[in-house]
Structure 1
Protein backbone atom coordinates (compact mmCIF):
# COMPACT_ATOMS: atom_id res chain seq x y z
CA UNK A 1 0.00 0.00 0.00
CA UNK A 2 2.69 2.51 0.94
CA UNK A 3 5.26 3.53 -1.65
CA UNK A 4 8.01 4.12 0.91
CA UNK A 5 10.48 1.28 1.02
CA UNK A 6 10.86 1.42 4.79
CA UNK A 7 7.11 1.78 5.43
CA UNK A 8 7.58 5.01 7.36
CA UNK A 9 5.14 7.86 6.89
CA UNK A 10 6.87 10.43 4.67
CA UNK A 11 6.61 14.00 5.90
CA UNK A 12 7.70 17.23 4.27
CA UNK A 13 8.33 20.05 6.75
CA UNK A 14 8.61 23.56 5.26
CA UNK A 15 9.93 26.50 7.28
CA UNK A 16 12.16 29.46 6.44
CA UNK A 17 13.91 29.19 9.83
CA UNK A 18 16.70 26.63 9.61
CA UNK A 19 16.64 25.98 13.39
CA UNK A 20 13.02 24.83 13.11
CA UNK A 21 13.95 22.44 10.28
CA UNK A 22 16.78 20.98 12.38
CA UNK A 23 14.65 20.55 15.50
CA UNK A 24 11.78 18.98 13.54
CA UNK A 25 14.15 16.52 11.90
CA UNK A 26 15.88 15.76 15.20
CA UNK A 27 12.54 15.16 16.91
CA UNK A 28 10.87 12.95 14.30
CA UNK A 29 13.60 11.41 12.08
CA UNK A 30 13.54 8.01 13.81
CA UNK A 31 9.78 7.65 13.59
CA UNK A 32 9.10 9.14 10.13
CA UNK A 33 10.82 9.62 6.78
CA UNK A 34 11.54 13.35 6.92
CA UNK A 35 12.10 15.81 4.10
CA UNK A 36 12.73 19.47 4.92
CA UNK A 37 12.64 22.59 2.77
CA UNK A 38 13.61 26.16 3.57
CA UNK A 39 11.13 27.66 1.07
CA UNK A 40 7.97 26.90 -0.83
CA UNK A 41 9.83 26.55 -4.13
CA UNK A 42 12.34 24.07 -2.65
CA UNK A 43 9.40 22.14 -1.16
CA UNK A 44 7.65 21.99 -4.55
CA UNK A 45 10.81 20.38 -6.04
CA UNK A 46 10.75 17.76 -3.27
CA UNK A 47 7.06 16.95 -3.88
CA UNK A 48 7.78 16.55 -7.61
CA UNK A 49 10.49 13.96 -6.91
CA UNK A 50 9.25 12.06 -3.84
CA UNK A 51 6.02 10.44 -2.62
CA UNK A 52 4.89 12.59 0.31
CA UNK A 53 2.10 11.58 2.70
CA UNK A 54 1.91 14.66 4.92
CA UNK A 55 3.02 18.25 4.40
CA UNK A 56 3.58 20.54 7.37
CA UNK A 57 4.29 24.18 6.54
CA UNK A 58 4.91 27.41 8.36
CA UNK A 59 2.59 30.24 7.27
CA UNK A 60 4.94 33.22 7.47
CA UNK A 61 7.72 32.78 4.93
CA UNK A 62 9.32 35.51 2.79
CA UNK A 63 9.01 34.24 -0.79
CA UNK A 64 5.56 32.61 -0.58
CA UNK A 65 3.27 32.08 2.41
CA UNK A 66 2.34 28.62 3.63
CA UNK A 67 -1.15 29.04 2.16
CA UNK A 68 0.23 30.11 -1.24
CA UNK A 69 2.58 27.12 -1.16
CA UNK A 70 -0.29 24.74 -0.32
CA UNK A 71 -2.38 26.18 -3.17
CA UNK A 72 0.48 25.30 -5.54
CA UNK A 73 0.80 21.82 -4.04
CA UNK A 74 -2.91 21.08 -4.58
CA UNK A 75 -2.43 21.77 -8.32
CA UNK A 76 0.60 19.49 -8.35
CA UNK A 77 -0.62 16.70 -6.05
CA UNK A 78 -3.84 16.98 -4.02
CA UNK A 79 -3.16 13.68 -2.17
CA UNK A 80 -0.88 14.65 0.76
CA UNK A 81 -2.53 15.76 3.98
CA UNK A 82 -1.76 19.39 4.76
CA UNK A 83 -0.99 20.92 8.17
CA UNK A 84 -0.36 24.65 8.72
CA UNK A 85 1.80 26.07 11.49
CA UNK A 86 1.64 29.71 12.42
CA UNK A 87 3.26 31.61 15.26
CA UNK A 88 0.78 34.44 15.07
CA UNK A 89 -2.88 34.67 15.97
CA UNK A 90 -3.45 35.25 12.27
CA UNK A 91 -7.04 34.15 11.77
CA UNK A 92 -7.12 35.48 8.19
CA UNK A 93 -4.30 33.11 7.27
CA UNK A 94 -6.01 30.22 9.01
CA UNK A 95 -9.27 30.87 7.17
CA UNK A 96 -7.36 31.11 3.86
CA UNK A 97 -5.55 27.90 4.72
CA UNK A 98 -8.82 26.08 5.24
CA UNK A 99 -10.51 27.52 2.17
CA UNK A 100 -7.65 27.79 -0.32
CA UNK A 101 -4.97 25.47 1.03
CA UNK A 102 -7.55 22.86 2.08
CA UNK A 103 -5.63 22.06 5.22
CA UNK A 104 -6.41 19.13 7.47
CA UNK A 105 -5.27 20.88 10.66
CA UNK A 106 -3.82 24.10 11.98
CA UNK A 107 -1.36 24.31 14.89
CA UNK A 108 0.27 27.18 16.75
CA UNK A 109 4.00 27.68 16.76
CA UNK A 110 6.05 26.78 18.65
CA UNK A 111 4.58 23.28 18.23
CA UNK A 112 4.50 20.73 21.00
CA UNK A 113 6.02 17.39 20.02
CA UNK A 114 3.08 15.41 21.41
CA UNK A 115 0.37 17.51 19.76
CA UNK A 116 2.16 17.53 16.41
CA UNK A 117 2.77 13.78 16.58
CA UNK A 118 -0.92 13.09 17.35
CA UNK A 119 -1.93 15.36 14.46
CA UNK A 120 0.43 13.50 12.10
CA UNK A 121 -1.05 10.16 13.21
CA UNK A 122 -4.65 11.36 12.69
CA UNK A 123 -3.78 12.89 9.32
CA UNK A 124 -2.15 9.67 8.18
CA UNK A 125 -5.14 7.60 9.29
CA UNK A 126 -7.43 9.75 7.15
CA UNK A 127 -4.90 9.73 4.30
CA UNK A 128 -4.81 5.92 4.15
CA UNK A 129 -8.60 5.57 4.51
CA UNK A 130 -9.08 8.05 1.68
CA UNK A 131 -6.59 6.15 -0.51
CA UNK A 132 -8.42 2.85 0.14
CA UNK A 133 -11.76 4.47 -0.67
CA UNK A 134 -10.41 5.80 -3.96
CA UNK A 135 -9.00 2.38 -4.85
CA UNK A 136 -12.32 0.71 -4.02
CA UNK A 137 -14.18 3.35 -6.01
CA UNK A 138 -12.04 2.80 -9.12
CA UNK A 139 -12.49 -0.98 -8.83
CA UNK A 140 -16.25 -0.48 -8.60
CA UNK A 141 -16.17 1.80 -11.62
CA UNK A 142 -14.31 -0.84 -13.61
CA UNK A 143 -16.73 -3.59 -12.54
CA UNK A 144 -19.62 -1.36 -13.48
CA UNK A 145 -18.17 -0.75 -16.95
CA UNK A 146 -17.66 -4.50 -17.43
CA UNK A 147 -21.23 -5.24 -16.38
CA UNK A 148 -22.59 -2.59 -18.74
CA UNK A 149 -20.52 -4.08 -21.55
CA UNK A 150 -21.82 -7.61 -20.85
CA UNK A 151 -25.37 -6.34 -20.60
CA UNK A 152 -25.04 -4.53 -23.93
CA UNK A 153 -23.70 -7.74 -25.53
CA UNK A 154 -26.65 -9.70 -24.21
CA UNK A 155 -29.13 -7.13 -25.43
CA UNK A 156 -27.54 -7.03 -28.89
CA UNK A 157 -27.41 -10.79 -29.34
Structure 2
Protein backbone atom coordinates (compact mmCIF):
# COMPACT_ATOMS: atom_id res chain seq x y z
CA UNK A 1 0.00 0.00 0.00
CA UNK A 2 1.38 3.42 0.95
CA UNK A 3 2.53 5.41 3.96
CA UNK A 4 -0.55 7.60 3.58
CA UNK A 5 -3.29 6.84 6.13
CA UNK A 6 -6.57 5.90 4.44
CA UNK A 7 -9.33 8.31 5.44
CA UNK A 8 -12.88 7.01 5.66
CA UNK A 9 -16.14 8.86 6.19
CA UNK A 10 -19.00 6.68 7.42
CA UNK A 11 -22.49 8.22 7.46
CA UNK A 12 -25.31 6.45 9.30
CA UNK A 13 -28.25 7.77 11.32
CA UNK A 14 -27.86 4.93 13.85
CA UNK A 15 -25.23 5.93 16.46
CA UNK A 16 -24.49 2.33 17.51
CA UNK A 17 -23.48 1.49 13.90
CA UNK A 18 -21.11 4.47 13.87
CA UNK A 19 -19.61 3.42 17.20
CA UNK A 20 -19.17 -0.19 16.06
CA UNK A 21 -17.54 0.91 12.79
CA UNK A 22 -15.14 3.28 14.50
CA UNK A 23 -14.23 0.67 17.13
CA UNK A 24 -13.54 -1.94 14.46
CA UNK A 25 -11.41 0.20 12.12
CA UNK A 26 -9.93 3.15 14.06
CA UNK A 27 -6.52 1.50 14.52
CA UNK A 28 -6.03 0.97 10.79
CA UNK A 29 -7.63 4.05 9.24
CA UNK A 30 -8.45 7.66 9.97
CA UNK A 31 -12.19 7.49 10.62
CA UNK A 32 -14.72 10.31 10.36
CA UNK A 33 -18.32 9.58 11.32
CA UNK A 34 -21.52 11.52 10.73
CA UNK A 35 -25.13 10.95 11.82
CA UNK A 36 -26.61 12.86 8.87
CA UNK A 37 -25.93 13.74 5.25
CA UNK A 38 -25.53 17.42 6.22
CA UNK A 39 -22.89 16.54 8.81
CA UNK A 40 -21.18 14.25 6.27
CA UNK A 41 -21.09 17.03 3.68
CA UNK A 42 -19.31 19.34 6.16
CA UNK A 43 -16.69 16.66 6.83
CA UNK A 44 -16.20 16.17 3.08
CA UNK A 45 -15.80 19.91 2.58
CA UNK A 46 -13.04 20.11 5.20
CA UNK A 47 -11.11 16.83 4.79
CA UNK A 48 -9.46 14.72 2.11
CA UNK A 49 -11.66 11.62 2.19
CA UNK A 50 -10.57 8.52 0.26
CA UNK A 51 -13.47 6.15 1.05
CA UNK A 52 -17.06 7.25 1.64
CA UNK A 53 -19.45 4.71 3.16
CA UNK A 54 -23.07 5.67 3.67
CA UNK A 55 -26.19 3.96 4.89
CA UNK A 56 -28.98 3.82 2.31
CA UNK A 57 -31.96 4.46 4.59
CA UNK A 58 -31.62 7.72 6.50
CA UNK A 59 -34.11 10.44 7.42
CA UNK A 60 -34.55 13.24 4.85
CA UNK A 61 -32.26 11.74 2.16
CA UNK A 62 -31.25 8.29 1.00
CA UNK A 63 -27.63 7.27 0.69
CA UNK A 64 -27.98 7.21 -3.11
CA UNK A 65 -29.46 10.73 -3.17
CA UNK A 66 -26.62 11.96 -0.97
CA UNK A 67 -23.95 10.35 -3.16
CA UNK A 68 -25.54 11.75 -6.29
CA UNK A 69 -25.73 15.23 -4.73
CA UNK A 70 -21.99 15.40 -3.96
CA UNK A 71 -20.62 14.00 -7.24
CA UNK A 72 -19.83 17.36 -8.83
CA UNK A 73 -18.08 18.87 -5.81
CA UNK A 74 -16.52 15.67 -4.43
CA UNK A 75 -15.90 13.30 -7.37
CA UNK A 76 -12.84 11.53 -5.94
CA UNK A 77 -13.89 9.49 -2.90
CA UNK A 78 -14.65 5.85 -3.59
CA UNK A 79 -18.32 5.32 -2.68
CA UNK A 80 -19.80 2.35 -0.86
CA UNK A 81 -23.44 1.89 0.08
CA UNK A 82 -24.28 -0.04 3.22
CA UNK A 83 -27.79 -1.28 3.87
CA UNK A 84 -29.78 -3.91 5.67
CA UNK A 85 -32.36 -3.99 2.88
CA UNK A 86 -31.88 -5.92 -0.36
CA UNK A 87 -33.66 -3.81 -2.96
CA UNK A 88 -32.55 -4.40 -6.56
CA UNK A 89 -33.75 -1.00 -7.76
CA UNK A 90 -31.66 0.64 -5.01
CA UNK A 91 -28.63 -1.35 -6.19
CA UNK A 92 -29.18 -0.22 -9.78
CA UNK A 93 -29.68 3.41 -8.71
CA UNK A 94 -26.58 3.24 -6.53
CA UNK A 95 -24.45 2.18 -9.46
CA UNK A 96 -26.03 4.43 -12.07
CA UNK A 97 -26.72 7.61 -10.08
CA UNK A 98 -24.34 7.54 -7.14
CA UNK A 99 -21.36 5.88 -8.86
CA UNK A 100 -21.13 3.34 -6.07
CA UNK A 101 -18.09 1.07 -6.07
CA UNK A 102 -19.55 -1.52 -3.66
CA UNK A 103 -22.96 -2.37 -2.24
CA UNK A 104 -22.48 -3.92 1.22
CA UNK A 105 -25.11 -5.69 3.32
CA UNK A 106 -25.70 -5.04 7.01
CA UNK A 107 -24.57 -6.41 9.27
CA UNK A 108 -21.19 -6.14 7.61
CA UNK A 109 -18.54 -8.81 7.73
CA UNK A 110 -15.46 -7.08 9.14
CA UNK A 111 -12.91 -8.93 6.99
CA UNK A 112 -14.95 -8.45 3.83
CA UNK A 113 -15.42 -4.74 4.57
CA UNK A 114 -11.71 -4.37 5.30
CA UNK A 115 -10.90 -5.98 1.92
CA UNK A 116 -13.43 -3.72 0.16
CA UNK A 117 -11.81 -0.67 1.79
CA UNK A 118 -8.35 -1.81 0.66
CA UNK A 119 -9.57 -2.51 -2.88
CA UNK A 120 -11.45 0.78 -2.97
CA UNK A 121 -8.33 2.65 -1.87
CA UNK A 122 -6.33 0.92 -4.62
CA UNK A 123 -8.90 2.17 -7.15
CA UNK A 124 -8.71 5.66 -5.61
CA UNK A 125 -4.91 5.71 -6.01
CA UNK A 126 -5.07 4.35 -9.58
CA UNK A 127 -7.56 7.08 -10.54
CA UNK A 128 -5.35 9.72 -8.92
CA UNK A 129 -2.28 8.42 -10.75
CA UNK A 130 -4.21 8.20 -14.03
CA UNK A 131 -5.37 11.80 -13.65
CA UNK A 132 -1.78 12.95 -13.02
CA UNK A 133 -0.49 11.01 -16.04
CA UNK A 134 -3.21 12.53 -18.23
CA UNK A 135 -2.26 16.03 -17.04
CA UNK A 136 1.44 15.31 -17.65
CA UNK A 137 0.67 14.01 -21.15
CA UNK A 138 -1.42 17.10 -21.98
CA UNK A 139 1.41 19.35 -20.76
CA UNK A 140 4.00 17.44 -22.80
CA UNK A 141 1.72 17.64 -25.83
CA UNK A 142 1.41 21.43 -25.41
CA UNK A 143 5.21 21.75 -25.17
CA UNK A 144 5.73 19.63 -28.26
CA UNK A 145 3.17 21.66 -30.20
CA UNK A 146 4.95 24.88 -29.15
CA UNK A 147 8.34 23.52 -30.26
CA UNK A 148 6.93 22.39 -33.60
CA UNK A 149 5.37 25.81 -34.24
CA UNK A 150 8.70 27.50 -33.38
CA UNK A 151 10.50 25.18 -35.81
CA UNK A 152 7.97 25.92 -38.59
CA UNK A 153 8.27 29.68 -38.05
CA UNK A 154 12.08 29.69 -38.20
Question: For this structure pair, what is the TM-score category when the shorter chain's length is used for normalisation?
Answer: over 0.9
Q: Tell me how far 1:130 sits from its aligned partner.
A: 1.1
3-state secondary structure, aligned to 1:104: strand
TM-score (norm. length: structure 1): 0.95
User: Which of residues 46, 65, 68 in structure 2 aligns to 1:68?
Assistant: 65
Q: Tell me how far 1:9 sits from its aligned partner.
A: 0.1
Q: Which residue of 2 aligns with 1:141?
A: 138
Counterpart CA distance in 1 for 2:33 and 2:88 is 26
3-state secondary structure, aligned to 2:71: helix
3-state secondary structure, aligned to 2:72: helix
What value does the CA root-mean-square deviation take over the aligned residues?
A: 1.1
TM-score (norm. length: structure 2): 0.96
3-state secondary structure, aligned to 2:57: coil
Q: Tell me how far 1:129 sits from its aligned partner.
A: 1.0
Structure 1: 5+ residue stretches without partners: none
3-state secondary structure, aligned to 2:100: coil
**Cα offsets for 1:113-157 (capped at 9, x unmatched):** 011000000000111011111101100110000000110111111
Q: Tell me how far 1:92 sits from its aligned partner.
A: 1.2
3-state secondary structure, aligned to 1:76: coil
User: Which of residues 80, 83, 89 in structure 2 aligns to 1:83?
Assistant: 80
Counterpart CA distance in 2 for 1:20 and 1:60 is 13
**Cα offsets for 1:81-132 (capped at 9, x unmatched):** 0000110111111110000000001010111101100000000011101111
3-state secondary structure, aligned to 1:31: coil
User: Which of residues 100, 103, 115 in structure 1 aligns to 2:97?
Assistant: 100
Q: Which residue of 1 aligns with 2:109?
A: 112
**Structure 1 residue 30 corresponds to structure 2 residue 27:** yes
Counterpart CA distance in 1 for 2:52 and 2:85 is 20
